[in-house]
């Protein structure tokens, strides 16, 4: 009885351990490929699963995250027979765990070999200069070719990048000399353009200076002419004012003589004296009395008076 109980306990422990060992929890971004009696059974996704003991097994654990593979430099020959080293970086992701498990024996080596042969085919149709300036074109062609070739393996190639292109040492020296010559040429061009702009600026400065000098001379001449005209106007106004004052004084004197009772002959004589003073002055205009006949009569009277005094 005790032996039977002990046997039942042992069997129960074995069953529990067996069940525990056949429970599998699949983590996020991971898939398990399950086989039953050596044949593909199912693909387990994220979560808890139970496999049948002894007849089912986990054939492969597949990482579904995007993976990066950096391949070492590969020797390639361009169309113009230049050998150079190119290393590539491939970004790929597993889309079908079953095809990835059974489609290819060693996916990493297969992708590396396929990448090298594809790269040689693409570079073989391009010359050196085109290779150095067409990275994007090479990346696109390689990605399309690798993606098509790896599709039966359950792999999707998302991106391919040329990490480095290393031409031969002689080519590198020639490229450095070419770059140096190009830099010197650009420097000479920039220097010539700078001298040209400097000469143009100097010429424009002289031109503007001459224009400003001419404008200044013109304005100075205009100011001198205006000053001269104003001086002449003031001089004429002064002379006119002087004439007016003389005429006013003469008229005032005649008025006083008339008030004193002087006869016509005296008045005429005073007018002649004022006229003589005006003629001897600096006035440019002389006002002559309109009564010239009266002046002639006055002169005759004065002549007779002189004759009588002589007798």
Domain positions in the chain are: 2-63, 67-167
pLDDT at position 182: 84
Spatial CA neighbour of 128 closest among 171, 187, 180 = 171
With the CA atoms of 81, 83, 87 and 88 taken in that order, what torsion angle do they form, in degrees rounded to the nearest 10?
10
Q: CATH class for domain 67-167?
A: alpha beta
| pLDDT over 80 (residue 5) | no
| pLDDT over 80 (residue 304) | no
Q: Which H or E element spans position 186? A: helix 169-260
Q: What's the sign of the alpha-carbon dihedral 145, 146, 147, 152?
A: positive
- Cα distances from 295 to residues 137, 267, 290, 300, in angstroms, run 124, 11, 9, 9
Per residue in 144-192, pLDDT (tens digit) is 999 999 999 999 999 999 888 888 887 777 777 878 888 888 888 988 9
Tell me how far apart the alpha carbons of residues 155 and 134 are, in angstroms, rounded to a whole number.
26
pLDDT at position 303: 47
Question: Region 75-84: what's the mean pLDDT?
Answer: 88
pLDDT at position 289: 52
What radius of gyration, in Å, describes the C-alpha atoms of the chain? 63
pLDDT at position 309: 46
* CB-CB contact of 159 with 113 (8 Å): no
Return the SS3 of 290. Answer: coil
Averaged pLDDT of the chain: 81
Give percent of the chain with pLDDT exceeding 70: 81
Tell me how far apart the alpha carbons of residues 254 and 256 are, in angstroms, rounded to a whole number.
5
Point out which residues pair with 61 in neighbouring strands: 32
pLDDT at position 129: 83
pLDDT at position 279: 54
């Amino acid at each position: 009885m005790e032996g039977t109980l002990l046997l039942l306990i042992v069997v129960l422990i074995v069953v529990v351990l067996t069940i525990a060992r056949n429970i599998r929890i699949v983590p996020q971004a991971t898939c398990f490929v399950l086989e039953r009696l050596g044949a593909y059974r199912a693909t387990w996704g994220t979560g808890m699963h139970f496999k049948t003991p002894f007849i089912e097994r986990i054939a492969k654990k597949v990482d579904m995250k995007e993976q990066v593979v950096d391949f070492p430099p590969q020797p390639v020959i361009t169309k113009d027979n230049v050998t150079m080293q190119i290393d590539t970086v491939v970004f790929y992701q597993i889309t079908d765990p079953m095809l990835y498990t059974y489609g290819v024996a060693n996916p990493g080596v297969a992708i590396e070999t396929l990448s090298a042969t594809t790269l040689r085919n693409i570079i073989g149709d391009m010359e050196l200069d085109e290779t150095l300036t067409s990275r994007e074109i090479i990346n696109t062609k390689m990605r399309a070719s690798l993606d098509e070739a790896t599709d039966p393996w359950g792999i999707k190639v998302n991106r391919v990048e040329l990490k480095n292109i290393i031409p031969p040492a002689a080519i590198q020296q020639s490229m450095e000399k070419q770059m140096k010559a190009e830099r010197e040429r650009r420097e000479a061009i920039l220097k010539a353009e700078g001298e040209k702009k400097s000469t143009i600026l100097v010429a424009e400065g002289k031109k503007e200076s001459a224009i400003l000098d001419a404008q200044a001379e013109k304005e100075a001449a205009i100011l001198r002419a205006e000053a001269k005209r104003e001086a002449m106007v003031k001089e004429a106004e002064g002379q006119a004012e002087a004439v007016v004052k003389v005429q006013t004084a003469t008229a005032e004197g005649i008025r006083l003589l008339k008030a004193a009772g002087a006869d016509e002959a005296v008045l005429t004589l005073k007018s002649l004296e004022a006229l003589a003073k005006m003629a001897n002055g600096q006035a440019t205009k002389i006002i002559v009395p309109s009564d010239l006949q009266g002046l002639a009569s006055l002169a005759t009277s004065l002549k007779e008076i002189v004759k009588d005094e002589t007798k």
